[in-house]
Structures are given as C-alpha cells and as structure tokens.
Amino acid sequence: MIDVLIIDDDAGQLDLFKTVFELNNFKVETALSGEEGLVKALQNSPSLIMLDFAMSGMSGLELLKKIKSEPGLVSTKVVLMTNMTRSGLSEEAISLGADDFILKADFTPKEMLKRVQGLITKS
C-alpha cells in the first residue's frame, strides 16, 4: 500500500482526493495547511506528497523547499497542484524539486490518480 500525504487548504478538494485515492488502495493522510503538512510529512515519511500551491500561511513553494531540505524527505515524490496559471510556475516548482506539476482544472480526480500512479511506477 502506498502512503500519500495530501496537503490542501480546501477541505472539499481534500476530501475528494482522499476518497479517490483510498478507493484505489492508497493509505492517505491529509493536512489543511503547510505547517500541518510539514509536521505530518516528518512524522510519517510518505512515499508521495500532493501539495497545493496557493494556501494561506505557508505557500506550496515554501513547503516544497522545506520538504526537499529535510534529509528524511529529500527523496519523497512531490506533486505540486494548483489552479493558478502564472507563467513560469511549473518550471519553478520543478527546479525546486517537484516531481510533477498539475493544473487541477485540467484533470479529474481519477486522471490525477492515474498521473500519480504513473509517477510512482517510474521510480
């Protein structure tokens, strides 16, 4: 069973992603903020972290930097998700260590699941 941590400050999206992943045999932890997500990541060392970009408090990019600076998490797969279409955002996320970048509006939860499964299979 693959452990995934989903960090998103939108409780509705968090519940939706959690349900889809659990129905497909993932063990899912969730967090509603970057701060909570970092604590859970350090405690649980998940195989994969799905991280929202735009959150109040710590942004997704700030959290990505912290995750990749932690020796126990440096090899953890990270997928940055957003609905923002800022130019250069995907390149910035990848350069900071994200393994994938997903525009939420372009993917259904099931398509996102397939994308994540492909990422995990590649490793």
Taking residues 67-81, what's their average pLDDT? 94
Contacts by residues 29-33 (CB-CB < 8 Å, ≥ 24 positions apart)? 29/3, 29/4, 29/5, 30/5, 30/6, 31/5, 31/6, 31/7, 32/7, 32/8, 33/7, 33/9, 33/57, 33/58
CATH of 2-122, one of 3.40.50.720, 3.30.470.10, 3.20.20.120, 3.40.50.2300: 3.40.50.2300
Q: How confident is the model at residue 1 (pLDDT cuts 50, 70, 90)?
A: low
Residue 123: pLDDT above 80?
Answer: no
Instruction: Tell me the average pLDDT across 74-86.
Output: 89
**Domains of the chain: which residue ranges?**
2-122
